Amino acid sequence: MTIHRFAHADAASLQEVVAALDETCLPLGGGTDLVAMMKAGLMAPERLVNLKTLPDHHGVRPGDGGWRIGALMTLADLAADPAVAEAPALASLVEAVLDSASPQLRTMATLGGNLLQRPRCWYFRNPEVPCWRKGGRRCFAFRGENKYHTLLGGGPCYAPHPSDPAVALLALGAAVRLSGPAGDRTLALDDFYVTPTRDAQRADGYHPVTVLAPDEVLVEVLIPGSAANARSAYVKLMERGVWDFALVSVAVNLALSDAGQVAAARVALGGVAAVPWRATEAEEALLGGSLTPEAIDRAAEAVVAGTRPLEHNAYKVDQLKAALRQALRRWTAD
């Protein structure tokens, strides 16, 4: 597991970083994914730029009634930040962060890097397997060992996106700010993540699931003020009790009227698609009603709309229903 040779620089300003980045020069955050990818021989950049030495984007600031979270915050610092930890509306984000990885990985991993993780699929991570996602001709999971693979969105890649915070942030209506040589752009997470297609392929052969350009850096996560008046929950089902990727996860963000009716709803799913997935049918089922047992039943049926299980992962359909029920029942009065 010797890593290939590369040059390394500590970044001092974002301008010099984006001027240097291309397919052979990659930004390095906590390294919990990229260093592992390099050790496996799956990536071999000639140069790495350490983003952690940048002066900015390490903290939380208020913004437009919501929150602006620096993408270089570690997961541990994010969950411990009083502005986040003490905000009831961000309960789902804190749960998703603390459900992620292990204590050691949370002190290393940055939020930005977490949102940009590569899949944990065993075919993808095996350097001997030329799977479609890394430039090969087909997905070996589709007719192979696909217990942990996707239900939604179809192919050509069936590896689920591994991030928990991304699912919570999608339900919170978050956006990301990207910095590049031509300036900044801000995109809703709904538009930032894209299912991998044959049209989009990087110079290194990999198919991306975001619209981030090779010379852009994800610098900030923006959570809108509308989320501040709502309540949120994150439910993650795992094989182990801790330190595991989601089999499925559900994030819910609800605004309830004084009469207890759902005035706004966002539901996002993890572990079931190549990108964090909006469950719009479940949102529509919840909207306008109150959280009666019948309404929860309808939402649980709606959340699995369009699922197409593979040979070994049909259990995830039932898990999705259960996870959504578990999330919604936090707000019922029984």
Partner 1 sequence: MALNFRGPDAVPLTLQINGEAHQVLVEPRRTLLSVLREELGLTGTKRGCGQGQCGACTVILDGETAYACLTLAIECEGREIVTIEGIAQGDALHPVQAAFIQHDGYQCGFCTPGQVVSAVALLAHTPQPSEAEIRAGMAGNICRCGAYPAIIRSVRAAAETMAEQEG
Contact residues: partner 1, CB under 8 A: 1-13, 16-17, 20, 28, 31-32, 35-36, 38-40, 47-50, 52, 76, 101-105, 107-108, 242-243
Closest CA to 131 of 113, 114, 119, 116: 119
- Tell the smallest beta-carbon distance from residue 225 to partner 1 (Å): 32
- Tell the smallest beta-carbon distance from residue 18 to partner 1 (Å): 11
- Tell the smallest beta-carbon distance from residue 211 to partner 1 (Å): 25
Q: If you ran DSSP here, which 8-state letter would residue 22 be given?
A: B
Angle at which helix 315-328 crosses helix 293-303, to 10 degrees, equals 140
Beta carbon nearer to partner 1, 159 or 170? 159
As beta bridge partners, residue 247 has none
- Tell the smallest beta-carbon distance from residue 229 to partner 1 (Å): 31
- Tell the smallest beta-carbon distance from residue 323 to partner 1 (Å): 21
Beta carbon nearer to partner 1, 76 or 304? 76
| Residue showing tokens 């801000």 | 186
Beta carbon nearer to partner 1, 79 or 157? 79
Beta carbon nearer to partner 1, 101 or 172? 101
Give the Cα separation of 188 and 185 in Å (integer).
10
Beta carbon nearer to partner 1, 42 or 194? 42
Beta strand segments in the chain, E? 7-10, 25-28, 47-50, 60-63, 66-70, 175-180, 183-188, 217-223, 231-237, 248-256, 262-270, 277-278
- Tell the smallest beta-carbon distance from residue 9 to partner 1 (Å): 4
CB atoms within 10 A of CB 189: 24
SS3 labels along 168-224: HHHHCCCEEEEEECCEEEEEEHHHHECCCCCCCCCCCCCCCCECCCCCCEEEEEEEC
Beta carbon nearer to partner 1, 243 or 315? 243
Beta carbon nearer to partner 1, 31 or 156? 31
- Tell the smallest beta-carbon distance from residue 290 to partner 1 (Å): 34
Q: What angle do CA 137, 140, 141 make, to 5 degrees?
A: 140
Q: How many Cα atoms within 13 Å fall on the side-chain side of residue 148?
A: 18
